Amino acid sequence: MTLVGCDLHSRNQQVAVLDTETGEVQERRLDHEGDAVEQFYAFLPRPVTVGIESTGYTLWFHALLQRQGHTLLVGDAAKIRAMVVRKTKTDRRDAAHLRQLLKEDRFPVIWVPDPTVRDLRALVAHRMRLVRMRTMVKNGLHAIALNHRLAAGSALFTRRGRAQLGALALPPYTTQRRDESLELLTWLDTHVQSLEAAGAVGGRVSGQVPAGPRHEARERPAPLRAGPGRPRCRPLRCRPQTSVLRRAVSARTGESESRRRPEVARAPLHHAA
């Protein structure tokens, strides 16, 4: 069995390899340009287990090892860092540390979605970005309408509202902005709907989304009510914080309230004879 500790970067990677049968250890630095990475992992004695830290932009590496039939383990970067005794951090030491964790069976593995679920997540993220763009376009159209005395609210994007917006007499550049925004809004609506349909189908195929109505009724917990053995809750009353703040300020400045509030002289009381 071959264990590989891989310190993966965007342009290169440092690997520390251990052959558990012969005890042979080797270290190499592989550049991602060309086919050096593919050739290195293709000629390793099987089975091969590769351990990397959790990081971004590694989908190509996941796909490469999956094509070659190797096992890829992704570890919790914070836990891996906490297991390092020596605090000096280099690529060679990081790769050797990953290899040692694999050898001692102490590698902190985290769950990684399979390619189908990962691709479905990319679809959902793409839809989210398009929805944000659609919101920006709608806000711009609302601004144009309100600046020209058309306050239609959410009805602005109905058939009647769009007709009213299109009938406004606007300056040339504002007219161009309105027309292009309406075209872009139509394009976004169409693509968002198609992405929603594709996401629903893909979710049902992968088992991530149940095949049911879009909005399902959910049970809500019953509200707490007063009853036997359960006292009625009373609303909290907010006390004025003026005196508290005054005391805190006085304590910081070393002044007492008596010094900040001079006493007012009172006239002596005359007792009736």
Same domain, 98 and 169: no
From 103, 137, 161, the end of a domain falls on 103
Residue 131 lies in a domain: yes
What CATH code is carried by the domain that includes residue 48? Answer: 3.30.420.140
| Confidence (pLDDT) at 202 | 64
Q: Is 64 left (phi over 0), alpha (psi -120 to 50) or beta?
A: alpha
* Strand ordering across the sheet containing 2-8: 25-31, 12-19, 2-8, 48-53, 71-75
pLDDT band at 116 (very low <50, low <70, confident <90, very high): confident
Same domain, 87 and 168: no
Residue 198 lies in a domain: yes
Instruction: Of 95-104, 191-200, 249-258, give the lowest mean pLDDT range.
Output: 249-258
Same domain, 77 and 27: yes
The closest alpha carbon to 117, from 5, 210, 199, belongs to 199
Residue 43 lies in a domain: yes
From 82, 103, 124, the end of a domain falls on 103
pLDDT band at 114 (very low <50, low <70, confident <90, very high): confident
pLDDT band at 211 (very low <50, low <70, confident <90, very high): very low
| Confidence (pLDDT) at 23 | 92
Number of domains in the chain: 2
| Confidence (pLDDT) at 254 | 57
Same domain, 137 and 202: yes
Residue 225 lies in a domain: no
**Contact partners, residue 9, CB within 8 Å, separation at least 6:** 91
Residue 87 lies in a domain: yes
Residue 268 lies in a domain: no
From 150, 177, 206, the end of a domain falls on 206
pLDDT at 240 over 80: no
pLDDT band at 86 (very low <50, low <70, confident <90, very high): confident
Residue 22 lies in a domain: yes
What would the mean pLDDT of 14-32 be, rounded to a whole number?
A: 95
pLDDT at 96 over 90: yes
For the segment 55-82, what is each residue's pLDDT rounded down to a tens digit?
989 999 999 999 999 999 999 999 999 9
Same domain, 33 and 86: yes
CA 227 – CA 167 distance, rounded (Å): 62
pLDDT at 124 over 80: yes
Same domain, 18 and 84: yes
Same domain, 119 and 174: yes
Residue 144 lies in a domain: yes
pLDDT band at 221 (very low <50, low <70, confident <90, very high): very low
- Domain extent, residue 7, equals 2-103
Same domain, 127 and 96: no
Average model confidence (pLDDT) across the chain: 82
pTM for the predicted model, two decimal places:
0.65
Same domain, 80 and 144: no
Same domain, 16 and 45: yes
**Contact partners, residue 47, CB within 8 Å, separation at least 6:** 1, 2, 70, 71
